[in-house]
């Protein structure tokens, strides 16, 4: 499900089936790492939208969490995650980023962090691009399914 009114209506009606949220973490910068920020954001969006497409009925794709890499980024994300958790809707919180910045905070985040380094897709042709994305998300599905499986067993 996406951050769209159409999906929001379904969510209001069948919210109990939607117990997972996927939050893309995308950096914003207009200084020296401008281009790499764009590349990372774009790549993260491609992956998350493919995951959303396949798990539409159980996974909510949150709007991008955008951040400037400064002292407050972690604090802001933590409080956002707190809000998501306290909403009571989501038992499974997944975070997706191409930015290695978050890797060191992985333990402090209340959610499973998927860190996938960005590939330079801009020069690839469409068909090949699709294949790459498909291959890249495959293991992520496994991680999500495992997480779902754990909650059944526990």
- Per CB under 8 A, residues contacting another protein are 10, 14, 17-18, 50, 53-59, 126, 130, 134, 141, 145, 148
DSSP state of 137: H
CB of 98 to another protein, least distance (A): 21
Give the residue with the Cβ less far from another protein, 67 or 114.
114
Measured from the CB of residue 1, what is the shortest distance to another protein in angstroms? 8
Looking at the Cβ atoms of 79 and 149, the one nearer to another protein is 149
Beta bridge partners of 26: 66
CB of 58 to another protein, least distance (A): 4
Residue among 115 and 148 whose Cβ is closer to another protein: 148
Question: CB neighbours of 39 closer than 8 A, spacing ≥ 6?
Answer: 98, 118, 120, 122
Residue (110 or 142) nearer to another protein, CB = 142
Tokens of 13: 């009606």
Nearer to another protein, 80 or 148 (CB): 148
Dihedral angle at the C-alpha atoms of 93, 97, 103, 105, nearest 10 degrees?
A: -50
Q: Pick from 43, 47, 53, 56: which is nearest to 137 by CA? A: 47
* Minimum distance of another protein from residue 48's CB (angstroms): 14
CB of 75 to another protein, least distance (A): 33
Give strand pairing partners of 108.
none
CB 114 within 8 A of CB 140: yes
């Amino acid at each position: 499900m996406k951050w769209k009114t159409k999906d929001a209506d379904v969510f209001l009606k069948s919210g109990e089936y939607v117990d997972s949220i996927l939050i893309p973490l995308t950096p914003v910068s207009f200084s020296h790492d401008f281009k790499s920020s764009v590349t990372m954001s774009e790549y993260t969006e491609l992956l998350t939208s493919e995951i959303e497409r396949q798990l539409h009925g159980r996974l909510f794709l949150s709007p991008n969490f955008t951040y400037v890499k400064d002292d407050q980024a972690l604090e802001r994300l933590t409080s956002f995650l707190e809000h998501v958790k306290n909403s009571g809707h989501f038992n499974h919180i997944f975070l997706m980023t191409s930015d290695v910045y978050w890797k060191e905070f992985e333990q402090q985040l209340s959610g499973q962090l998927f860190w996938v380094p960005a590939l330079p897709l801009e020069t690839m042709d469409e068909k090949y691009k699709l294949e790459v994305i498909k291959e890249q998300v495959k293991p992520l599905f496994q991680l999500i399914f495992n997480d779902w499986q754990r909650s059944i067993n526990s």
